[in-house]
Homo-oligomer: A and B are copies of this chain.
Amino acid sequence: MEDLGIPALDGTPVETDHRRIWQRFAERFDLFRGTPTGLWLADELINVFGVSEKLNGGSAMAIYEHVEAQLKKPEFSPRALFGRFGIHTLCTTDPAGSDLRHHAALREAGWGDRVRPTFRPDAVVNLRTAGWHTHLRALGAVAGIAIEDYASFIRALEQRRAVFKSMGATATDHAAETAFTERLSAAECEATFARALRGDADADDAARFTGHMLIEMARMSAEDGLVMQLHVGSLRNHNEAIFRRFGPDKGADIPLAGEFTRGLRPLLNAFGNDPRFSLILFTLDEAVYSRELAPLAGHYPAVKLGPPWWFHDSVNGMRRFLDLVTETAGLANLAGFNDDTRAFCSIPSRHDVWRRVSCDWLAGLALRGLIDVDDARAMAGDLASGLAERAYNLG
């Protein structure tokens, strides 16, 4: 990004004064014109915080003070905003080794199922995760299972899924660089896992084991009813300088070309027709929307399509998604909209963008006579909430 740069790669200290960061950001807020980030933030300032000026260098500090004052009020506490935002359900993603203590606390505080965990075992499934042995020990410890081989690894995962489910989870989440799946033999599983335990697993081991574990996770989902989400196609930590200075997952992820047709075939042939199984697919490669994802969702009873993800969670991205998948997949095979924001106050904006784009899209269909107004009304309700509630069993 021009001008904002990447901070402090030259070794100078990262700026930590919030006021100075905000001032500098506001001065170049023009860089975000026409971007979803710019849209969300502008909308949040107006509709969450009641700001009436446009953000720029001149208004930056007044807005900062105003927002700071608002945030001190009890009606701006996270729990108050949760209610004001009308959030139906908020799902966190939690590693397989999590003890879910915060979820337990929320349940004790009477929050019921409004905040739910999501089982995300990537760190132990991917044999090449940095700190894999540590993640594995955490999983074994919390499960009370000594993970000494593939069989005990599977038992520990099954145990945690049961616990997650008892704490309200209705879904799991899995990230993979590709959609490659392949069933390994029992002997291969044990041998590969043993190599990983010894620290000897190579890239090929890791890729094949991930491909096997995706099928294994589908098997568990068919058995325990947790909806399986699969996010495919991000090359993580693309910028090595960022990785070295700040560690993993700092935003330096760049998408890869996607391939689901051959990749998912083993998984879908095992569980794609299983009425107990539900698989929600997400991609960063829009070329697969109409080519692969929509036909797969239109064909396999188990497959649904997640909303446009990450870079494509935007006005144009949503429009393209709806235009590209719905004719083939059918609206009922979409999982509606969920945001994956880390910015709590952006939640209303993000859902508002989706509702506006999808209603604009429906209006276009109705105007051209492709659907009638009764259809449009029903579809609007489904897009706004019905599809997501059904896809994630949140009825």
Q: Which residues of A contact B (CB under 8 A)?
A: 1-3, 5-6, 9, 30-36, 39, 54, 235, 238-241, 251-257, 259, 261-262, 265, 268-269, 272-273, 275, 284-287, 290-292, 294-296, 298-301, 304, 311-312, 314-317, 323-324, 326-328, 330-333, 365, 368, 370-372, 375, 378-379
Residue of B nearest to A269 (CB): B240
A9–B277 Cα gap in the complex (Å)? 15
**Which of B265, B316, B365 meets A323, CB within 8 Å?**
B316
Residues on B with C-beta less than 8 A from A379 are 33-34
The smallest C-beta distance from A236 to any residue of chain B, in angstroms, reads 11
Report yes or no: A239 in contact with B299, Cβ–Cβ below 8 A.
yes
Q: How far is the CB of A104 from chain B (nearest CB, A)?
A: 34
Pairs of residues from A and B, 10 with the lowest C-beta to C-beta distance, nearest first: A287-B287, A314-B327, A2-B332, A254-B261, A311-B328, A240-B269, A255-B291, A33-B375, A254-B295, A316-B323
Contact between B301 and A291, CB atoms less than 8 A apart? no
Contact call A261/B235, Cβ cutoff below 8 A: yes
> Contacts A239-B268, A273-B241, A290-B312 given: A30-B378 contact, CB under 8 Å?
yes
22 residue pairs bridging A and B, Cβ less than 8 Å apart = A1-B332, A1-B333, A2-B304, A2-B330, A30-B332, A32-B330, A33-B371, A34-B331, A34-B365, A34-B370, A34-B375, A39-B370, A54-B372, A235-B262, A239-B272, A239-B299, A255-B295, A256-B261, A290-B317, A295-B311, A298-B311, A316-B324
Interface contact B291-A285, CB-CB below 8 Å? yes
Most chain B CB atoms below 10 A, which of A239, A284, A368: A239
In the bound complex, what is the Cα–Cα distance between A224 and B226 (angstroms)?
57
| Residues of chain B lying within 8 A (CB to CB) of residue A241 | 269, 273
Decide: B292 and A254 in contact? CB cutoff 8 A.
Answer: yes
What residues of B have a CB within 8 angstroms of the CB of A30 in the complex?
332, 375, 378
Q: Is the CB of A326 within 8 A of B238?
A: no
Measured CB to CB, the nearest residue on chain B to A255 is: B291
CA distance A288 to B283 in the complex (A): 14
Q: How far is the CA of A16 from the CA of B200 in the complex (A)?
A: 57
The answer on a CB contact under 8 Å between A273 and B239 is yes
Once the chains are docked, how many angstroms separate the CA of A127 from the CA of B137?
Answer: 53
Q: By the criterion CB–CB under 8 Å, are A300 and B257 in contact? A: no
List residues of chain B with CB within 8 A of the CB of A378.
Answer: 30, 33
Q: Which of A268, A328, A371 has the most CB of B within 10 A?
A: A328
| Among candidates B33, B261, B324, B371, residue contacting A34 with C-beta atoms closer than 8 Å | B371
Given A9-B273, A33-B331, A330-B31, A292 and B255 contact (CB-CB distance below 8 Å): yes
